[in-house]
Structure 1
């Protein structure tokens, strides 16, 4: 039996779903099997254990559903949802991301801190090594700025290295970005990126997780979260990765989900390029510029027009200041809030793109 499309979820049904969600050994497929078999989570919770066994579900699931720990966890989640900017998306409701709903093991529940509406916007996933090289980090930031300026939401895993560089660069140009966690939203990991996550939530982006709020960082959670990163996105760009990197798992999942896979090549002497080279040999698109990605996605119905992309480039915070008046690089630090090395790196990038020019020690925005 299939569930009715978009049937409203009552408070009692919501509480029952949150209880099911906390049960041991109950992944997305078994969660959906229960709802399809009994018609609702409430009915599943009330059903006899023999009915659960008849569905081939583990005994631990049936025994835990009425435990105080499961009840208390569901109550805590309900209280969490009452606070501003904290939401729950459910797989059979109209606000669930359409692309994510297409994958076979879409998470039945998705906790969201921030703006849930951006999960429906066109997204590009950017992933790579946690121990990325400085050139790799710079490349990730440059691509994320350009893609965010072109109207894409940048989606990644909020890990150290390439993930963090991509999220931060999207914010730097006023774009939007989504972080997908391998823990619950109240057990944030890694803590070093906590401030970045708070900035994402505060500036209209989002952090999401399929795991219960108090779920810790267990090793098996991170490969699971990778399918969400790729499932939300039109494609996955791998910036720098070794052959054993989890980024290659994300790329494989993307290919299985029918998403585009892009890889940036590097030096044959750099271990962090070997994963990207492997992906290219396996059929990923070799990417050197953002235009390669935009060209591949030209048929996507919500892709911004070329005129929109050009207009979006003015969003760069330094260009906004330079359009108002010429500045020295040092004078840009205070109004931008950036340290001088970051200002200099951004100005160099803008100069290479033909969007800014330095004359007699002062920087000017170029009008194209």
Structure 2
């Protein structure tokens, strides 16, 4: 099996830069997309941390920035549990994950390494209350994928996830956490989590240490599962299940979506059967999966822009927003997600000015970010 080609030139962060990156991503209202735009605007995380107070001054609110002491404690906590912070430019950052919208700039990681994370991945997800037959076919596909050179990604949940991880220990497996790496969920899978690390697999999370997973964190975790993989295989998914969220995210990320058919009499298969009706690839063996994802493996995945530390002189040279520009932008926004390029054309403000104003609104908690470089107004 041919490994994926590199997607971006390596950018080596110093210890000081890595600490600044961690401070920035842990600051109030700074998510992955905002982090990327701040880096693009200011040139470095250090400059962004200095410039944010002035940037949000017009919003009338103050943004809580993570302190150096907080970031140092988190890094020390990683060392204490045998984990590390991996930047998007590091060689052991999952290659396909780099290319998704709003990829995490930093991942908490335990285990793994470049030899594991450079290999192509397939995600296997499905019902927590899976049947014996569902667990058996998930395990069979996972084990055979490992023999074919694939790493299996999943979410370490009960049922299908656990069966896929267990069967892929020999071939390599990666578990994405919804909470911090020290907050395993569900606790009953602790022994399996240990076996994943013991077999050379990995745990990944974008959440801080100590973060208890909430319901809203699981879709975020699911985007990591699908984002790391070239394709997603769904086994036994009910309607409105988390597995269908993973499949939908996979489609938005340009990944291959596969589903194992199930009995129409079993509600645990109603969602996966509908995926097949809607165009997902029907698969029953690992060979089926390999055949449909094979065309993906030769592609060079385009890297996201502006993920490096650079010179902020360019951002200082652009025209800054003038009085009245913010009102024009807010008038153009609404609750419907709108492409940033369309906003630029409609308002005539210019790309650089719109990006600065969106950063102001984002840090003030007034806009929502959506896939495809779209934004919406909140409140």
Say whether the fold is shared (TM-score over 0.5): yes
The TM-score, its normalising length taken from structure 2, stands at: 0.72
Verify: 1:15 aligned to 2:19, yes or no: yes
Deviations 1:156-183 (A, max 9, x none): 0011111011001112xx2110000100
CA contact (8 A) 1:122 1:302 kept: no
Verify: 1:121 aligned to 2:119, yes or no: yes
User: Which of residues 107, 110, 120 in structure 2 aligns to 1:110?
Assistant: 107
SS in 2 for 1:263: strand
Equivalent-residue separation in structure 2 for 1:214 and 1:111 (angstroms):
12
Verify: 1:263 aligned to 2:263, yes or no: no
Deviations 1:237-257 (A, max 9, x none): 001110111100110111111
C-alpha spacing 1:301/1:31, structure 2 compared with 1 (3 Å): closer
| Aligned-residue CA RMSD (Å) | 2.2
1:164 aligns with 162
Verify: 1:295 aligned to 2:291, yes or no: yes
Q: How many residues align?
A: 291
1:136 aligns with 134
Deviations 1:325-360 (A, max 9, x none): xxxxxxxxxxxxxxxxxxxxxxxxxxxxxxxxxxxx
* CA displacement at 1:224 relative to structure 2: 0.8
* CA displacement at 1:80 relative to structure 2: 3.5
1:153 aligns with 151
User: Larger Cα Rg: Structure 1 or Structure 2?
Assistant: 1
1:318 aligns with none
The TM-score, its normalising length taken from structure 1, stands at: 0.74
User: Which sections of structure 2, spanning at least 5 residues, go unmatched?
Assistant: 1-7, 300-379
User: Which sections of structure 1, spanning at least 5 residues, go unmatched?
Assistant: 304-368
Equivalent-residue separation in structure 2 for 1:175 and 1:229 (angstroms):
17
Equivalent-residue separation in structure 1 for 2:283 and 2:61 (angstroms):
49
Deviations 1:257-316 (A, max 9, x none): 11111000111100011011110111100112222112223335579xxxxxxxxxxxxx
Equivalent-residue separation in structure 2 for 1:134 and 1:48 (angstroms):
53
* CA displacement at 1:154 relative to structure 2: 0.7
C-alpha spacing 1:293/1:7, structure 2 compared with 1 (3 Å): closer
C-alpha spacing 1:71/1:218, structure 2 compared with 1 (3 Å): farther
> Higher relative contact order at CA 8 Å, sep ≥6: structure 1 or structure 2?
2
2:200 aligns with 204
